[in-house]
Amino acid sequence: MSKRWNARAGFFLAMIVILAAHFALAETVGTDGLHLRAELIAPSTLVRGQAAQAGLHFKLEPGWHVYWQNAGDAGEPPRMSWKMPQGVAADALEFPPPTRLPLGPLMDFGYEREVVFPFAVHVTSEAKTGSATLAAHVNWLVCREVCLPGHADLQLNETIAAAGSASGLSAEENALLTSAVDSLPKAAPASVQTKFQATPTGFRLAILTGSRESSAVFFPEQKGVIENAAAQQANAVADGVVLTLKKDSTLTANPATLDGLVELSGGRSYRITAASGVVAEVASRKSAGFGMLAQQTGLAFLGGMILNLMPCVFPVLFLKGLALVNSAGEERVQIRRHGMVYTLGILVSFWILVAMLLGLRAAGATLGWGFQFQSPIFVALMAALLFFLGLSLAGQFEIGLSLTSAGGSLAQKQGYSGSFFTGVLAVIVATPCTAPLMGAAIGFALAQSAAASFAIFSALGLGLAAPYLLLTLQPAWTGLLPRPGAWMDVLKQATAVPIFATVIWLVWVMAQTRGATGVAVLLATLLLLAIAGWVLGRWPARRIPSLVAMVILLLAIGFCAYGVNTLTAPITASSAATSATESGWQPWSQSAVDRARAAGQPVFVDFTASWCLSCQVNERVALRTAGVQKAFAEKHVVLLKADWTTHDDGITHALAALGRSGVPTYVLYSPTAGSAGTVLPEVLTPGIVLDALKALPSR
């Protein structure tokens, strides 16, 4: 065995802590101390002569994972053996597509948080009817920094019926099983061609689907073929994608075929067996010509200007309007400097944001525009910041307009800080929105080189800053502003109204993602902030009260982060699916789109999120109107909602395949197989939707 494999084995064995775990027979086993909960999901009634879908469900503690069938550099997949009555048998576990899990210098393939491994239970016509016990022995390995082997004896107490259909699953169990089965990799259809070519250092693997693919990840079936931890470079070609893979250092002879699982954009995954062939070398990055780059940069600038009119950015516009009025009496050079500093704050924020996106994507993460609002802690802290700001504007206490405006009577240094951080705030509150013309530009930017991405995001930032910057650069226009006076206190207090309205929206977002407990934690945080504001207002500019207020503020922030992270739980996928079904919409999956189109039905997909204000506005003014709903019914359109409120790799891949990186995005698919979907504008009207529906072929 090579030194490298000895090092791997030593690294792996050093992590394993031997811990025996024995459990009583049960359908569900809570494995305290073993960092997961195991249960069997199956109908309570089985029928002779039929097969029923069942599953092994693991729910893991944060940071812990179990393994795919090829665990990667270290690990073992779950295994299950059965003791069953005569005439009853179970298939082997099936494995959904895994994720890449870095572990030190190694790379594992597995699952975090929650996973269901489907399997089928078969009942022959000779099986005895009545009560039956199906006993399973399950072994697994669960890992984080250390690995813990575990096992459990689980059982299903079933009723075998002579006729009818399998039954007895709860709505939540049915949603879990359906989602797991839908996500299983399919055999590659005849239209998908695969081949690979060996290179001195690795392989070029071509997956040709007939259309351009924006992303791909390969999981090998056998160990020791590729370097698991090496980055996989996906290069789009006109009819698919080419993956560049690195050989495992222990590989002595090239394989005859590359077998494994490939996951493509949109959450599609196929089992492939790629034969050796010639695969042309392609550029390591998609690069756009100057004309295309100039076009997308212009669209980004216009989109940034329009972004000022979106509901997300309105509160900051109120603040800047107040700042401009307050600074009307300043020297022109000072006003111009404030405009420049405000613009710099926006640009620096966009540069940091695009650097994070590109860096995390290079590390294998799938992220898009507005990704930070998928974190409940970020939502809670953002609500707290705006609430505290609103208290100051409403007059509870004075922290100075330097935090939100061009400075007023404050010192010059403080005023510039205020302008800079108002630009930062503008970017933060803008990211839940995708203005018209922005969607295509952002999607294009994130698929280009780093230089092109920064150029497009800089144009977006300049567009966002342009209205205020132009006012500060044109002295004649600022002369039209009214003179400062007592009326400004009233305006300042009125400015708190849209700020508090934004806080209400963020509380609603928290309710959608973390339920009543999340709302209670957030409201308790706001109460602490109100107390801190009262202390500052009751004893202004005094050292001891200011220190007390600071302690309360820190306590509020700590409680908020701790409470949201540990006291609350995400709204389950099954709850979201039930809500969507009750409103006439079904939860999105790529397989649901494919099934509907195969049945000859058009499909409308709403890519949305609770934190996206533009999405909520579009739903109310367009998608929920009686005329649009009637047209959907007349055209027999299948309505699918892709909820991106919390992170979902499948939705992120699907958006990337459409050339988008954020929400709102709307796609209407014709029932004609193979035809591309029509992407609708980011801002909808009933007329836009109705016109798109009229273009569908008659049934």
If pLDDT is split at 50, 70 and 90, which confidence band does 90 have? very high
Burial bucket for residue 69 (CB in 10 Å: 0-12, 13-18, 19+): middle
Q: How many C-alpha atoms does 414 have within 13 Å on its Cβ side?
A: 11
Q: Where are the domains of the chain?
A: 3-182, 193-276, 290-567, 573-694
| pLDDT tens-digit series, residues 201-210 | 899 999 998 8
CB distance 202 to 248 below 8 Å: no
Q: Which one, of 106, 260, 269, 304, lies nearest residue 180 by Cα?
A: 269
Given strand 88-90, what is the order of strands in its sheet?
28-31, 36-41, 51-60, 114-123, 88-90
Closest to 271 (Cα-Cα) out of 188, 354, 197: 188
Whole-number pLDDT of residue 325: 57
Nearest in space to 442 (alpha carbons), one of 459, 420, 457? 457
User: What's the residue count for the chain?
Assistant: 699
Which band of pLDDT confidence, cut at 50, 70 and 90, is reported for residue 443?
Answer: low
- Res. 23: pLDDT tops 90: no
Q: Using the structure block, give the residue that is written with the tokens 């640009």.
A: 347
The answer to whether residue 98 scores a pLDDT higher than 90 is: yes
Residue 388: per-residue pLDDT: 87
The region of weakest confidence among 372-381, 409-418, 475-484 is 409-418
Residue 136 has pLDDT above 80, yes or no: yes
Q: Are strands 130-143 and 147-161 parallel, antiparallel or unpaired?
A: antiparallel
> In sequence order, which ranges of 474-572 are alpha helices (DSSP H)?
475-478, 487-538, 543-562
Rounded CA-CA distance 498/394 in Å is 11
The pTM for the full model equals 0.48
pLDDT band at 438 (very low <50, low <70, confident <90, very high): low
Tell me which CATH code domain 573-694 carries.
3.40.30.10
For residue 21, pLDDT beyond 90: no
| Per-residue pLDDT reduced to its tens digit, 586-642 | 998 878 887 888 788 899 999 988 777 778 888 888 998 999 999 999 889 999 999
Q: What percent of the chain has pLDDT over 70?
A: 76
**Superfamily for domain range 3-182:** Thiol:disulfide interchange protein DsbD, N-terminal domain (2.60.40.1250)
Cis peptide before 185, with omega less than 30 degrees from 0?
A: no
Q: What's the pLDDT at 698?
A: 67
Q: How far is CA 425 from the centre of its chain?
A: 22
Copy the structure tokens of residue 309.
């009119």
Residues 154-183 pLDDT 10s: 999 999 999 888 888 888 888 889 889 988
Report whether pLDDT(247) > 90: yes
Which pLDDT belongs to residue 323?
63
- The DSSP call for residue 226 is B
- Residue 338 or residue 283, greater confidence: 338
Q: Per-residue pLDDT averaged across 420-444, rounded?
A: 63
Residue 282: predicted pLDDT: 63
User: What pLDDT shows up at residue 491?
Assistant: 66
What radius of gyration do the chain's Cα atoms show? 29
pLDDT (0 to 100) of residue 434: 53
How much is the mean pLDDT over the chain?
79
